[in-house]
A = this chain, B = another copy of it.
């Protein structure tokens, strides 16, 4: 049985996957050709097609890895006990995603944020992927809703606002900052942490006077 060792197979597979991920992060799924991936991986077509049935499967593999990474970042941050305030929580998720370069030490810090945007774009044209993403966000939201309810029960936050809305807002903040990071790169995570902290310091504008910066 002259087959090659299993770790060698796994290594080849990961080599291809990471090369594809770099290409996709650079040019998107549909603007990168198979030959781009082959060149980036330093392999031939025959080699790659032994590990992946086609381009779609390659895309799916990268997408799944990205989603798994992001989902786990949200969940790990949510597992922190006691639950940190929102700005710290959001900072933790972002740092986790940014730090998660390739499995090995890798160059590009914004690889996952970039891939995340590509995944979003792909989600718009693939209902099945949209369902997966929806499910993932649902899971995360459930976790974060509990944390928000914790804030409210402890009297740290107004309790007359649905926790779901707050959780969605916090997730949106993570998404938006990650997008900024992917697009412009030069944004420290501390900026959101501080920015949200400042917003949190504004105190509820009561229920009636939303528009007056001063009251008379």
Residues of A within 8 A of B (CB): 25-31, 82-86, 88, 114, 117-118, 120-125, 130, 133-134, 137, 148, 150-151, 154, 156-158, 161-162, 164-177, 179-180, 182-184, 187, 190-192, 194-205, 210-214
- Given contacts A121-B121, A183-B133, A197-B205, is CB(A82)–CB(B211) below 8 Å? yes
A172 to B117, CA, bound (A): 14
Q: Is the CB of B83 within 8 A of A158?
A: no
Given A184-B137, A192-B168, A197-B205, A211-B88 contact (CB < 8 Å): yes
Main secondary structure of the interface of A (DSSP, over half): helix
Known contacts: A82-B212, A176-B176. The answer to whether A195 contacts B118 by CB under 8 A is no
A54 to chain B, nearest CB (A): 15
Given B25, B120, B167, which contacts A179 in the complex, CB threshold below 8 Å?
B120
Chain B residues contacting A174 (CB-CB under 8 Å) are: 176
Q: Could you say which of B172, B200, B213 contacts A192, with CB atoms under 8 Å apart?
A: B172
A212 contacts across to B, CB distance below 8 A: 82
B residues less than 8 Å from A137 (CB atoms)? 180, 184
Complex-state Cα separation, A123 to B117, whole angstroms:
10
- The reply to whether A28 and B124 form a contact with Cβ atoms under 8 Å apart is yes
- CB contact under 8 A between A124 and B182, given known A85-B205, A88-B211, A211-B82: yes
Can you list 25 residue pairs at the A/B interface with Cβ under 8 Å?
A25-B124, A28-B30, A82-B211, A82-B213, A83-B213, A86-B202, A114-B124, A117-B120, A120-B120, A120-B121, A124-B183, A156-B213, A157-B202, A161-B195, A166-B198, A168-B177, A168-B191, A170-B199, A172-B173, A172-B176, A175-B179, A176-B177, A197-B204, A197-B205, A201-B203
